[in-house]
Structure 1
Amino acid sequence: MTKIPDILLPTTVVGSYPPAGKKGLGTLIDPMRAAVKQAVDDQLGAGIDIISDGQVRGDMIASFTRRLPGVRGHDVIGKVMPPSGTISVADTKYALSKARYVKGIITGPSTLTHALHISTPMYRKREELTVDLAQALSGEAIALEEAGVCMVQVDEPILSTGSADLGIAKEAISRITSRLKIPSCLHVCGDLSGVIDEILSLPVRILDFEFANNENNLEILGEKDLMGRKLGFGCLDSTDSHVESVETVKERIRTGIDIFGAENLLLDPDCGLRMLPREAARGKLGHLVSAAKEIREELE
C-alpha cells in the first residue's frame, strides 16, 4: 500500500490539467492518450510530489456519468448501476507507471446529482439518486486503491453552494470511502462560511479547500478544530492565467503555516487547472514547487 510521501509540505494538484491537442497515429486508437501523457509529463517536469492522471478525457461530470448504466447524456433514465468496468483506472495506472505517488480522483455523487436531470419515476428525490451514484462509484474507489494510488479524492464543489443535502452527502461519501485503507480526501471549492461545520463532519482524512482566491476561508478554518486531519492548502489561483511569483506563493504558504502548522499542509492549486492555457498551468505548478522548496529550507 502506497502512503503519502513523508516530506514536509508535499505538493500536489487538485486534478484536472489543460488537455493537449490530438496528434499522432496513437490517436486512432486512443484520441486522448497524448493528452494524458502530456499532463503527467508536465506535472513531473514541474516537480509535483503527488500527481494525477490529468483528468483530460472530458469535464468532471461526463467523464463519470457516461459510463454509468441508467444515465444517458445529462438525463437519468433508469436506476443507476455500477459501470461494467473501471472509469479512470487505466489513465491512473499510466500515471503510476511514471510516478510513485499518484492520487485517484472521483467526482462526488452530490455534484453529479445536481448536474443531471431526472427523467424517470425511479427517483422521486435527488437524494435517492445521490445514494445510488455513491454506491455505483464505490467500486471505482477500491479499484484505484488496488491500482496503487496513495489517496482517493472525492470532488464535491457543489457542497459550498448550499444546494446539496449535507446529511445525504455524508452518507454518500461514506459509501465511497469507508472501505479504503489509504487516506481519503474531500475537495470543496468556494466560500465555506455557510457549510463549514457540516463539511468538517464528513468522513475523510484530508480536506482540500481554496485559499488563494478565497482568503475568507483562512479565517473560517482558523477558528475550527480539524481533528487531526491534513489540509490541502490551495495557494494558486486556478481562475487566473497570470502566473503568481514564487514570492507571492511563499507568502500564501507562510500564512497557512502560521494558522494550521506546516506539518498539517499539502500544497496545491485552489482547483483544477483545466481551463487555463498549458503554459500558465505549467508555470503555476513550477512556482508552487519552487516556493515549497524554499519554505522547507527556511524551516530547517
Structure 2
Amino acid sequence: MSRDAENREQFRPENHDNEHFLLTTVVGSYPKPKWLNRANDLAEDPDSKFTQEHLHEAHDDACRVITNEHERSGLDTVVDGEMRREEMVEYFAHRIPGYEFNGPVKVWGHNYFDKPSVVGEVEYDEPWLVDEFEFTSDVASKPVKVPITGPYTLASWSFNEHYDSEADLAYALADLVNEEIEQLVEAGATYIQIDEPALATTPDDHAIVGECLERIVAGVPDEVRIGLHVCYGDYSRIYPELNDYPIDEFDVELCNGGYEQIDVFTDPEFEPDLALGVVDVHTAEVETVEEIKENIKQGLKVVPPEKLTVSPDCGVKLLPREVAYQKMENMVQAAREVEAELDAGEIDLDAPVPQAD
C-alpha cells in the first residue's frame, strides 16, 4: 500500500542520462576504516589518553570518508555507512529511557550480544539520529537515507521486564520511532528506512509489524519515502499481507538465495515499490556488471521499472572495504545500463516469470 506513488522521482539526479530511472541505494552499514576500529578500541582503554572528544572527531572523519565513497560509486542516495553504530539494537537502546544493560549474552558459538532489558516505560528523551543526519547532509551532495532499527526488532531482541507483552512493547517503541521521524523530517529528511530483521525469523508476527508501521507513519508527509527492509527468510509467510503495510518500498534479500522466491511476489500483484538486493553481501566475490544486470531483470518480473529500486541484499559491513565499494560501483553501472536498454526497448517486460523449483 504505497503512500505516494510519485515520491521516488525526487531522487532522480538532475543530469540523469536516461529516460528510465532505477533508484540506486544501499541498505545502511558499510565496512569501517581500520583506523576507526583502532580509535574505538583506544576510547575504551582506561589507560589511553584517547578521549571521547577524539572519538567524536574520528567518527566525523569516517562519516565524511564513507559518504564520499558512496557518492563516488554513483549511488543516487547515500548514507554515512553507520560509522557511529556498532550494533543495531544497542545503539538505540542506549538512547531510550526505560532500557538498561546488564552485560553480554551468548547468542551463538563464541559471539556475544549486549542484549538490553526493558525495565520501565520507554520514552522519547532527545533525538537519536538528527545530528547525524544533519552532519551527513552537510557533507553529501546527494540525498541522504536514514536507516532506523524498527520497533519490532528493538522489542524482540531485548528482555521485556515491564510490558504485559512483547507486542505492547513494540507498539510503545513504534510511537517513539514516529517522534524520531517527525524530528528527522523537520531537519529535512526525505528517505527513511525501517529495519526489521526480526520479522524474518518470526514471520507469523507480520500483523504486529503492520500495526507498528501504522503508528510510525502517522502524520508523516506522503512525500517522505518510507522503506521497510526485511532480511532473508520465508517471504511467502508475510505475502501478500505486506501489501497492506503503509510503506512506499519493501526491501528484500533475494540475491543470496538465487531468486528462488521471486515468484512469491507475483500473485497477487505486488503493491509497494520493490527494493531488490542484486549483489550478495555474504560473499567477497565481486559480481560482474553483466551478472548484476541479470539480477536487476529479476525485479522487472515483479514491478515495472518506475517501481524498482536497486540495492545490495543487506548491509555490507562484513565485507572487505574495497570489495564493498566495487560491488556498489558495479551495481550502479548495471542499473544505468539496464535503464539505457529499457529506453531502447531492448528488454521484454512481458517475459514470463520462472517458477522456483
Establish whether TM, by shorter chain, passes 0.5.
yes
| Structure 1 residue 169, shift from structure 2 partner | 1.6
Match 1:9 to one of 22, 25, 42 = 22
| Structure 1 residue 186, shift from structure 2 partner | 0.8
| Structure 1 residue 3, shift from structure 2 partner | 6.1
Quick one: distance in 2 between partners of 1:297 and 1:27?
47
Task: Confirm whether residue 220 of structure 1 aligns to residue 264 of structure 2.
Answer: yes
Aligned to 1:77: 119
Answer whether contact 1:106 1:141 (CA < 8 A) is retained: no
Normalising by structure 2, report the TM-score. 0.78
Aligned to 1:256: 299
Alpha carbons of structure 1 residues 17 and 29: separation in structure 2 relative to 1, 3 Å: closer
Match 1:112 to one of 133, 154, 177 = 154
Alpha carbons of structure 1 residues 174 and 145: separation in structure 2 relative to 1, 3 Å: same
Structure 1 residue ranges (4+ consecutive) displaced by more than 6 angstroms after TM superposition: none
SS at match of 1:260: coil
Q: Which amino acid aligns with 2:182?
A: I
Q: Which amino acid aligns with 2:126?
A: G
Aligned to 2:333: 290
Alpha carbons of structure 1 residues 206 and 27: separation in structure 2 relative to 1, 3 Å: same
Aligned to 2:73: 46
Q: Return 5+ residue gaps in structure 1 as ranges.
A: none
Match 2:212 to one of 164, 172, 189 = 172
| Structure 1 residue 132, shift from structure 2 partner | 1.1
Q: CA deviation digits over 1:150-186, x for unaligned, max 9?
A: 2111111111222662222211111111221112111
Alpha carbons of structure 1 residues 12 and 29: separation in structure 2 relative to 1, 3 Å: closer
SS at match of 2:302: helix
| Structure 1 residue 223, shift from structure 2 partner | 2.2
Quick one: distance in 2 between partners of 1:61 and 1:30?
23
Quick one: distance in 2 between partners of 1:256 and 1:232?
8
Alpha carbons of structure 1 residues 114 and 164: separation in structure 2 relative to 1, 3 Å: farther
* Farther off after superposition, 61-70 or 137-146: 137-146
Aligned to 2:31: 18
Quick one: distance in 2 between partners of 1:72 and 1:183?
32
Answer whether contact 2:71 2:78 (CA < 8 A) is retained: yes
Q: Which amino acid aligns with 1:54?
A: G
Q: CA deviation digits over 1:229-248, x for unaligned, max 9?
A: 21111111111121111111
Task: Confirm whether residue 68 of structure 1 aligns to residue 81 of structure 2.
Answer: no
Answer whether contact 1:27 1:33 (CA < 8 A) is retained: no
Alpha carbons of structure 1 residues 231 and 163: separation in structure 2 relative to 1, 3 Å: closer
Aligned to 2:135: 94
Aligned to 2:249: 206
> Who wins on radius of gyration, i.e. which is larger?
2
Answer whether contact 2:174 2:212 (CA < 8 A) is retained: yes
Match 1:277 to one of 320, 323, 332 = 320
Alpha carbons of structure 1 residues 198 and 258: separation in structure 2 relative to 1, 3 Å: closer
Answer whether contact 1:110 1:164 (CA < 8 A) is retained: no
Query: Superposition RMSD on alpha carbons, in Å?
Result: 2.1
* Farther off after superposition, 49-58 or 9-18: 49-58
Alpha carbons of structure 1 residues 44 and 197: separation in structure 2 relative to 1, 3 Å: same
Normalising by structure 1, report the TM-score. 0.92
| Structure 1 residue 267, shift from structure 2 partner | 0.5
Quick one: distance in 1 between partners of 2:281 and 2:55?
32
| Structure 1 residue 54, shift from structure 2 partner | 1.5
| Structure 1 residue 94, shift from structure 2 partner | 2.1
Q: CA deviation digits over 1:252-272, x for unaligned, max 9?
A: 112222332212101001111
Answer whether contact 1:92 1:102 (CA < 8 A) is retained: yes
Answer whether contact 2:148 2:192 (CA < 8 A) is retained: yes
Q: Which amino acid aligns with 1:194?
A: R
Aligned to 2:350: none
Q: CA deviation digits over 1:40-63, x for unaligned, max 9?
A: 111011010011122122211112
Aligned to 2:231: 189
Quick one: distance in 2 between partners of 1:10 and 1:167?
29
